[in-house]
Structure 1
Amino acid sequence: MQWSFPVAKVAGSEIRIHLTFFLLLLWIGIASFQQGGGAAATEGVAFIIAVFACVVLHELGHAVAARRYGIKTPRITLLPIGGIAQLERMPEDPREEIVVAIAGPLVNVVIAAVLIVILGAFPNLAAISNIDNPEPGFLARLATVNVILVLFNLIPAFPMDGGRVLRALLAMRFSRVRATEIAATVGQVASFIFGFLGLLSGNVLLIFVAIFVYIAATGESQATSFQAMAARVPVRRGMITKYEALGSASTLGDAADALLRTTQHEFPVIDGGGNLRGVLTRSAMVAALQQHDRSYPVHEVMARDIPLVPDTAMLDAAFKLLQSPGDDVPAVGVTDREGRLAGYVTTENIGELMMVGEAARR
């Protein structure tokens, strides 16, 4: 995710913080300072940090549960509206998806239980009705937040945890695509409710949550439909076969000339045997030209370790590789029987293929 940077690595997952998170800390610090001075500002910022520590543990709960089924979680990103665990994929078995989905809220249940039962930090009406009121005590407010996180995340608004549980339950009766469509519709309706409540109460974060839920529900529903369609389409139908390639000895000048005379956004770099060595994207080319002259070799700036699939595979194999959250994959190469490059697939041309296919069925 852009505008985020890593701060730690826990259980194989890179913890990243989005820059907008610091805007939240600044906002809380200024608001608290205006109400109670420096001490109040310090406590307010410390409380937000404690809350997001609980959020990180929540997301790690998802990651640990997913690892049980062989699914890695390359990144966990903290945003002002919460955390996002970027799993390599979601389990396709509904029962496994339920376990992964509820693992996060269960972590908050444990945290709340420790705070309430062991430390005696009992939430009260004041803490629930006015969470930024310091009178109930730091730990009491933190316990309250964890209770709220459990209840909020279990709302069946896809792709929130409760929405994923709903999708998994529906998938036991319907196809995964149909289950996702229903759950996404419920999530979109919930997002309008969140937005309406946010406007009524003046809660900016709730409005952002509404926008995020709507966009994420729509995007994941489309991705699930694409993947189901791609599973029925040979990769040969979706790959790009007419393209201009660069050689291993090509320079940025050669790439710039190719960019001007074609409409390509990416250029495969192949060796003398026709094997794919990398892909030079337009953005990488432009960035390199700002730092080097036209004689600079493209193999120094191209994306390496491009995944490959055989031309006998189905399109969903390439689609899954392109959607991998842990890597920025500009393209997937398609090889013939001899291992030479026969074509390549990008997210853009898969989207165009699916769009044409959808239009043809109407």
Structure 2
Amino acid sequence: MSWSWKLGRVAGIPIYVHWTFVILIAWLVAAGAMANQSLARGLEQGGFVLALFACVVLHELGHALTARRFGVPTTDITLLPIGGVARLQRIPDKPGQELLVALAGPAVNVVIVAVLAGVFGVRLPSTAADTGQILHAGFWSKILLVNVFLAAFNMLPAFPMDGGRVLRALLAMKLPYARATRMAASIGQLMAIAFGLFGLSSGAPMLLFIALFVWIGAEAEAVQVAERAALKDVPVGEAMLTNFLTLRADDTLGHAADLLLAGAQQDFPVEDGEGGDLVLTRASLMSGLASRGPEAPVREFAAAAAAPVEADGPLVAAVGLLREQGVPCLRVTRQGRVVGLLTLENVGELLMVREALGKVGDGSVAPAGGERVY
């Protein structure tokens, strides 16, 4: 994830922290020190945030390590001020497996609560109902309360929380996967409406934020699964751009700009004469024109191209590669020869055509594909 720093690896999984998280810790330390005229109090608040996010990392590792048991790798885990993100490369193949992966994260928080309360005798703050007084509770009492909240909040039956995935997995045991996702997303959006109405009536802006978060997350999940259903059994060749142009490495950026303006193609394969696979993207072209002008050679701004995909291969997997690798296009080959380009714009146009023709799939798409967030 961009703007993140790598902390290290746990169980072979890279752990990153977003730069905004560091600002959050610094702000809490400073606020605590100024409010209590005590640096020790400020450091305690910073330590509490570090402990909190250690619990979040353990939560995400619960998802990641359970997914690994089912053969699903995790790309990385990133810490953000609003929580953690574990990026699984795909959803487990069976609803029962997805159910266990979704439950694993909250289960970690339940175990932490059980250890703190059952083994060490930590108790919830007596002022848990008063958010203004929670800040003055004991360190471990606050950690206990946070883990109770993490387990309970994540089990709400709404995407993108774990509870939404639990609900979807249970529904998918009886219904086609796409239909189960749509039903789970609808339930989550009804919950978002309830959060929003309650937030408006009670003057709680945080509930409005949560409502928006839940609504967007539910819709995004439903759209992605519906897309996979619509593209089920569709080969890459149906969506590729076949009328495309290539550049030579010694062509000028001005020539590339002329080709860009003359047609709909935005990214160009580059032949460098040395067997390398290069591509000049529209963004690189604009950057080169701004910094070096139209006479600069293409080779100075072309980047290594992503691995090609086969024209007869599944389009769903190719779309997953486009999103996972963050590349603008993929070269499409047949018997080792480049026969087309694939972009997300082409895929979107194919989806519109198939929808107009009524070719939208039967909703029984398998839960596989690109990167998934837990």
TM-score if structure 2 supplies the norm length? 0.85
Q: Deviations over 1:318-342 (max 9, x none)?
A: 1222232xx32322221122x1111
Distance in 2, Cα, partners of 1:22 & 1:198: 29
What is residue 351 of structure 2 aligned with on the other side?
A: 354
Matched to 1:137, the amino acid is G
* 1:79 is the counterpart of 2:77: no
2:333 corresponds to: 335
Question: Which deviates more, 167-176 or 214-223?
Answer: 214-223
Deviation at residue 209 of structure 1 after TM alignment? 3.3
Counterparts of 2:172 and 2:132 in 1: how far apart (Å)? 37
The alignment status of 1:320 with 2:353, answered yes or no, reads no
Are 1:187 and 1:217, in contact at CA under 8 Å, matched by a contact in 2? yes
CA contact (8 A) 2:331 2:340 kept: yes
Q: Are 2:244 and 2:341, in contact at CA under 8 Å, matched by a contact in 1?
A: no
CA distance in 2, matches of 1:195, 1:164: 22
Choose between structure 1 and 2 for higher RCO, CA contacts under 8 A separated by at least 6 residues. Answer: 2
Compute the displacement of 1:54 (Å): 0.8
Using the TM superposition, give the Cα deviation of residue 227 of structure 1 relative to its aligned residue in structure 2, in angstroms.
1.2
For 1:63 and 1:197, locate their aligned partners in 2 and report how far apart those are by CA, in whole Å: 34
**Other-structure match for 1:306:** 306
CA RMSD of aligned residues (A): 2.8
Match for 1:331: what amino acid?
C
Name the structure 1 match of 2:281.
281
Q: How does 1:178-257 map to 2 (within 5 A)?
A: 178-199=179-200, 205-257=206-258
Per-residue deviation at 1:157?
Answer: 0.7
Contact 1:51/1:145, CA 8 A, preserved across alignment: yes
Contact 2:159 / 2:221 at 8 angstroms: preserved in 1?
no
- Tell me if the contact between 2:267 and 2:280 (Cα under 8 Å) persists in the aligned partners: yes
Question: Structure 1 residues 46 and 204, CA, compared in 2 at 3 Å: closer, same or farther?
Answer: farther
Match of 1:15 in 2: 15
The whole-number CA distance in structure 1 between the counterparts of 2:202 and 2:78 is 27
Please tell me whether the aligned partners of residues 235 and 311 of structure 1 are also in contact (alpha carbons under 8 angstroms): yes
Distance 2:196 2:278 in 1: 44
User: Shift of residue 305 of structure 1?
Assistant: 4.8
Partner residue in 1 for 2:64: 63
State the TM-score, normalizing by the size of structure 1: 0.87
Matches within 5 A, 1:40-59: 40-59=41-60
Q: 1:298 to 1:7 in 2, by over 3 A?
A: farther
Structure-1 separation of matches of 2:204 and 2:21:
17
User: Could you say if the C-alpha distance between residues 234 and 8 of structure 1 is closer, same or farther in structure 2, counting changes exceeding 3 Å?
Assistant: same
Equivalent runs, 1:82-231 vs 2, <5 Å: 82-127=83-128, 129-130=130-131, 133-199=134-200, 205-231=206-232
Aligned amino acid, residue 148 of structure 1: F
Change (3 A) 1:302 1:101: farther
Distance 1:333 1:124, change over 3 A: same
Choose 140-149 or 305-314, whichever is displaced more: 305-314
Point out where structure 2 has 5 or more consecutive residues left out of the alignment.
Answer: 360-374
Distance 1:292 1:27 in 2: 42
Quick one: distance in 2 between partners of 1:201 and 1:19? 33
Task: Identify the range of structure 1 (136-145 vs 36-45) with the bigger mean alpha-carbon deviation.
Answer: 36-45
